[in-house]
Amino acid sequence: MVELLPSILSADFAHLADEVAAAERGGGTVIHVDVMDGHFVPNITLGPPVVRSLRKATSLPLDCHLMIDNPNDYIPAFAEAGANWIGVHYEACPHLHRTIELIQNHGMHPGVVLNPATRVDVLLDILPMLHHVLIMSVNPGFGGQNFIPFSLDKIRRLAEIRQELGLAFRIEVDGGVAHDTIAQVVKAGADLLVAGSAVFSNGSAEQNARELLAVAKIASGEA
């Protein structure tokens, strides 16, 4: 089943609860939270205090994407703040197995994120432990970027591995997911679709979310 994950990076933070509520009415089922530290990626966004406030505003799962160095130092704080899913970058975790166990031990679903230039095969040994794998289809750091076309090959490869190994992890895609790309992403094998600018950019989050999800469901054969 395909799901739409509205990314609050593109929302109006002065009205965050209202924006999230509108995206939920449009069919969003998980809220995607981009955490950036200004070191691992060239931008600074938010941390556990915003997640804690967001937790009060919605009952939807919070998918926290940690684009940060030393994620192990912050995983307990995000768990305490109310995160449900945690995604860490393969490129930022020298001891990835330990990090995945830390996420699990704090009662959250673990995911691993791959930058555009990182091949999916590096995750073969760790895949049975994962709830989701997030394919970055832009270079992380800023919203509103154009989709990188070779990301589709990575999604297809990951879907093949999932089938070959008989695993159930979800395939998440983030970056440039919009009306003109979402069908291709779904047909390649993704089922968790992160969209920021395409949902929140023009103040019509409910309508935008509904339209994106409709296109995705047609592409997946669910509609």
Q: Domain with 133 in it: what CATH number?
A: 3.20.20.70
Buried b (16+ CB within 10 A) or exposed e, 114-151: bbeebebeebeebbebbbbbbbbbbebeebeeebbeeb
Q: Which one from 34, 69, 180, 191 is the annotated catalytic residue?
A: 34
Q: Which one from 37, 63, 73, 174 is the annotated catalytic residue?
A: 174
pLDDT at 185 over 90: yes
pTM of the model: 0.96
- Give the tens place of pLDDT for each residue, 68-97: 999 999 999 999 999 999 999 999 999 999
Domain count, the chain: 1
Q: What value does the mean pLDDT of the chain take?
A: 96
Residue 41: which domain range? 3-220
Active site residue 34: yes
- Whose CA is closest to 112, among 54, 163, 174? 174
Active site residue 69: no
